[in-house]
Amino acid sequence: MNMSTLKESLPVSAQINDRIKELKEFEETKSGVKGLVDSGIVKIPKIFIRPDDELAGETNHGRSNIQVPTIDLTGIETDHDHRKEIINDLTQASKDCGFFQVLNHGIPPSVLDGMLEGIRRFHEQDAEIKKEFYSRDRLKKVKYSSNIDLYHSSSANWRDTLTISLMVSDRVEPDELPAVCRSSTMEYIDQVTKLGELLFKLLAEALGLKQERLVEMGCAEGRTFVCHYYPACPEPELTLGTSKHTDPCFLTILLQDQIGGLQVLNNNHWIDVQPLAGSLVINIGDLFQIISNDEFKSAEHRVVANQVGPRISTACFFTGIVAPPKMYGPIEELITEENPPIYEEFTVSNYISKFFSKAIDKSSLDEFKLQV
């Protein structure tokens, strides 16, 4: 390296060092984005500002004239004709968009409201109590942190998260959960687990498989709940609540409040997923796209920052069997000579490890494609 090249590299190196220093300072507070807001900031720190090339040509306002499909599950167990209509709607939504909302899904409004309120109480409680749960240990069952990819991403996201991992252990004990949201969380976990099993049965039918096929594969086992808190942002046009990404799971069930901000990428346009009272948002994950051999779509989505807040949501990721290791791959009933396998087999732990090794906006799907 000559002297001129060395001089040119110094500013970049200095910027990297400054960023690492700022990230560590933010991390050491253990107070997350909520702590920044509570301190009274009017300008967001540099670590949250998106690069110009990422913001160029993009708008934080999605297209509201296009909606993701809404599917009413009323009579799903008793009305045979309506069930066939629901299966057809699920098939189309999973192929075209990868996202849909469900109404009359069987979870009482009181349980949904209780879960959202519990998340709000956790994130808004005394900071010292909340810090007791702060951790970046992926193996910890219950933890609180801000930005899972803090040290991998080019910009931090404007959100904090309480995570409950049931990937290895199938159950969380009440005393493992924060007292402030314990009962509401336990009830929600039980209810959404049952709904997940129903959706996997319906989606199996949508793929032309036997109703129990996906459940028998263990797709409904292993769950991770991420309980997000997006504080009001003083400069929402400079950052995002969540970077664009796809989900490293089979299926996601999302409960969101009425503020909005979730967007899905469809035909190169960001579409607002408008909140509907009492609804849940469902999306196909990467692992489902693989086992369906690209029949169903894992779509990129994001959450915009907002001057209004806090926005509260909780996503349940159905991750499948992690231990003992189980091999998954394109389902054999879907493979023909005309439709050969597109992906290699994988284990859930391997796929998720790749996801956590980089920024969340870098999908791992291509890494599992077979070479042709």
pLDDT tens digits along 242-260:
999 999 999 999 999 999 9
Cis peptide before 248, with omega less than 30 degrees from 0? no
Say how far apart CA 237 and CA 227 lie, in whole Å.
24
Phi then psi dihedrals of residue 185, to 5 deg: -70, -45
> Which tens digit of pLDDT belongs to each residue from 306-361?
999 899 999 999 999 998 999 999 999 999 999 999 999 999 999 999 998 888 88
Identify the pLDDT of residue 57. 43
Say how far apart CA 92 and CA 96 lie, in whole Å.
6
Q: Any idea of the CA torsion for 168, 295, 196, 175, to the nearest 10 degrees?
A: 30
Q: Which domains does the chain have, with CATH numbers?
A: 13-368 (2.60.120.330)
Residue 69: both structure tokens together: 């499909």
Is the predicted pLDDT of residue 55 greater than 80, yes or no? no
Is the predicted pLDDT of residue 65 greater than 70, yes or no? no
Neighbours of 232 (CB within 10 A): 15
Identify the pLDDT of residue 228. 98
**Whether the Cβ atoms of residue 68 and residue 101 lie closer than 8 Å to each other:** yes
Identify the pLDDT of residue 273. 96
**What is the band of 53 on the pLDDT scale with cuts at 50, 70, 90?**
low
Where do runs of H (alpha helix) occur along the chain? 3-29, 32-38, 52-55, 80-96, 109-124, 127-131, 182-206, 213-216, 286-291, 348-356
Identify the pLDDT of residue 61. 53
Identify the pLDDT of residue 169. 83
Say how far apart CA 250 and CA 316 lie, in whole Å.
11
Where is pLDDT greater, at 58 or 210? 210
Identify the pLDDT of residue 235. 96
Closest by CA to 359, choosing from 157, 58, 158, 166, is 157
> Which tens digit of pLDDT belongs to each residue from 229-240?
999 999 999 999
All residues at 6 or more sequence positions from 102 whose CB lies less than 8 Å from its CB, including other chains = 70, 71, 72, 73, 199, 279, 280, 282
Is the predicted pLDDT of residue 60 greater than 50, yes or no? no
Model confidence, pTM: 0.92
Share of the chain above pLDDT 90, in %: 79
Is the predicted pLDDT of residue 62 greater than 60, yes or no? no
Nearest-5° Cα angle at 344, 341 to 349:
140
Identify the pLDDT of residue 63. 58
Say how far apart CA 82 and CA 68 lie, in whole Å.
20
